[in-house]
Structure 1
Amino acid sequence: MKPEAITSSYKRWAPIYDATFGKITHAGRHHATKVANQIGGDVLEVGVGTGLALPFYAPGVTVTGIDFSEDMLQRARAKVAEENLTHVRELRQMDARKLEFPDNSFDTVVAMHLISVVPDPEQVMLEMARVCKPGGQILVVNHFARDEGWLAWFERKFAPFADYLGWHSNFPKDRVLGVDALSLVEEKHLTKLGLFTFLRMEKAA
């Protein structure tokens, strides 16, 4: 997706995101934060959105969140203040293709329902790996395209509307698995229909 399409799409979604898409994606958000809590330490959430996942992080972790959409971030900041989420260190507007953090900064980097909406997912994965500490974890939750079946047919039909919907319905999983420094250590389907998939990758020590 083009950056301007992302901006306009999420400006539309921001006021209703929690009550719509946020409900659908709850399982992935809950699972990814549970794993991040088990790892502990410093967490970077790339594509923090309206901050729906922020309350699920344990007090023992420190969370930094970034998002391209300032409209989404305004809602995330309000959530942090209203719920007194003291484990959230910082929320910043940032392009995930060029993260403004030093190498090896975070124990865990989390991207939930993000990687199929960014303009250059391969570059985003490289950046996530760069800022992750050696031996650290990259946690990705996303919808990935199927090769066959009736759901695959729907994915192909909705594909031309990606810029309007704000996500790609037929995004191939291979596009997140090409970083040499990362090895896939876990893959898990999160719902009965397998609509969303959890991937856990480890950066070489």
Structure 2
Amino acid sequence: MKGKEWYQADDVAQEYDDKRFSDGGRHIDRRERQAVLEALSPVDGKNVLEIACGTGRFTVMLAERGAEIVGLDISGPMLVQGRDKASEAGVGDAVEFMRGDAGRLPFPDDHFDAVFAMRFFHLADPPVKFLTEMARVSKDVVFFDTFNRFSSRSVYNWLLPMGSRLYARFEVEQLLDGAGLSLADEAHDFVLPYGLYREIPNEIAGHLREMDTALRGSLVGEKLASVSYWTAQV
């Protein structure tokens, strides 16, 4: 997996949320939370697994809404941050954070009601083993996002130290088919790349987000979207 050592560094874990989701990055965080909730809701009483949970942004959010959730990540420092967040939110008893390999999930078949991964498949190489494992341990929903090949992300990718795996639609369809999953829903967003939002103040980013959201509803916006959210069923 790309960036495995980088994500396990202590300083990365400590600064991860601030670097990505402060200022204009709040618009990214808001949209991602919305996408997760739309895919998994209602979550109250559900048994959920989050792959590559990082610092627990979504793990804690779902626990606050009544889910029993396991957050799995390769990074010990990230998991420490996640446990602290869960404790501060008062949901420590509803969350279990585990260090583990997403390519070999330590759970039996059909163990969870839903399995999801955000900000993971751009690092997954090869991705098929990860999606197959997610499908194996889910008895209903599998949800994930991808960065798109024919979008502004292609340009932004050149500036990243690790780069990202970018996906065309047919590649996602092949992945789903190979994992025995059926596509149930999809959404496409962010004509403007993530990096632009992170570099500007929240006030300016808000105006750009309004324009971006307006484009999202058009055929052009869907074709140029840099991020896609995929909801699949076992």
Per the normalisation by structure 1, the TM-score is 0.81
Question: In proportion to residue count, which structure has more helix?
Answer: 2
Moved more, 34-43 or 100-109: 34-43
2:228 paired residue among 194, 197, 203: 197
**Count of residue pairs brought into register by the alignment:** 191
Structure-2 separation of matches of 1:180 and 1:119: 15
Gapped regions of structure 2 (runs ≥ 5): 191-211, 213-220
Q: What letter is aligned with 1:66? A: L
Choose the corresponding residue for 2:142, options 115, 138, 152. 138
Aligned to 1:157: 158
How far apart are residue 29 of structure 1 and its match?
A: 2.7
Structure 1 spans left out of the alignment, 5+ residues? none
Read off the aligned partner of 1:43 and give its amino acid letter.
V
Partner SS for 1:63: strand
Matched, 1:97 2:93: no
TM, length-normalised to structure 2: 0.72
Aligned pairs for 1:7-156 within 5 A: 7-11=5-9, 12-23=11-22, 24=25, 25-26=28-29, 27-38=31-42, 40=44, 41-57=46-62, 58-86=64-92, 88-133=94-139, 136-146=140-150, 151=152, 153-155=154-156
Q: CA deviation at 1:10?
A: 4.5
Q: Distance in 1 between matches of 2:83 and 2:72?
A: 11
**Aligned partners of 2:128, 2:186: CA distance in 1, in Å?**
19
When the two chains are superposed, the root-mean-square deviation of aligned CA atoms in Å is: 2.4
Percent identical among aligned pairs is 24
Q: Is the aligned partner of 1:170 residue 2:166? A: yes
